[in-house]
Amino acid sequence: MANERVTEIVERLALPIAEHAGVELVEVEYKKEGANWFLRVFIDKPGGVDIDDCSRVSEQLSDALDVADPIATSYFLEVSSPGAERPLKKLADFERALGERIHIRLYEPFDGHKAFEGVLLRCDGTSLEMEYAEKSVQRHVCLPLDKIAAARLSVWT
C-alpha cells in the first residue's frame, strides 16, 4: 500500500534527525482524516519531550521532506509525544514496559479473548507474559508476539 511506503520513507528520513536531537522515533503515521492528509511523527525521551524537542525535529524533518519529496499530495506535518498510552511495537518498547500496565489486541481470539489488559511480566522477543484480572481473579497468559495486532501502555482506570 502507498501509505506504508510513505511511512517507511519518512521513518528513514526522521530516524537520524531524531537521534541527533536526542529523542527516540516512536512511530510514523500517514492517514487521511476528512479531506486532509496528516503525517504524524511521534517522538519521546526519558522524562518526556517538550515543545522545543518537537519544534526542532519538525523543522529539520520538514526540510528533509522538501528535498526528498516522497508525498505527492499536500499534508499537515505534526510532531508530538506519543502520549501516556504510547504504542509498543519494538522489543525495546516491551522491555521498557516491564512491570507496567499494558493493553493488547490480538488478530484472533486466544483463550476466548481478543484483548487483554494487565501488567507486563516478561517479554523474550517471541512471546510475552502478562497478569490480568478476570472477574476479580488474577490470571496469567503467555501470548506469541506474532499474534498481537496492537499493543500500548494503558493508563490505570
The pTM score is 0.78
DSSP string, 35-72: TEEEEEEEEE-TT---HHHHHHHHHHHHHHHHHH---S
Number of domains in the chain: 2
- 86 domain-assigned: no
pLDDT in tens, the chain (157 residues): 466 699 999 999 999 999 999 999 999 999 999 999 999 999 999 889 999 999 999 999 999 999 999 999 999 999 999 988 999 988 989 998 999 999 999 999 998 999 999 999 999 989 999 999 988 899 999 999 999 999 999 986 5
pLDDT at position 136: 87
Q: Give the domain extent around 59.
A: 2-80
- Is 12 strand, coil or helix? helix
- In the listed set 30, 60, 80, which residue is the last one of a domain according to the structure? 80
Of 24, 8, 27, which is closest to residue 16 (Cα–Cα)? 24
- 85 domain-assigned: no
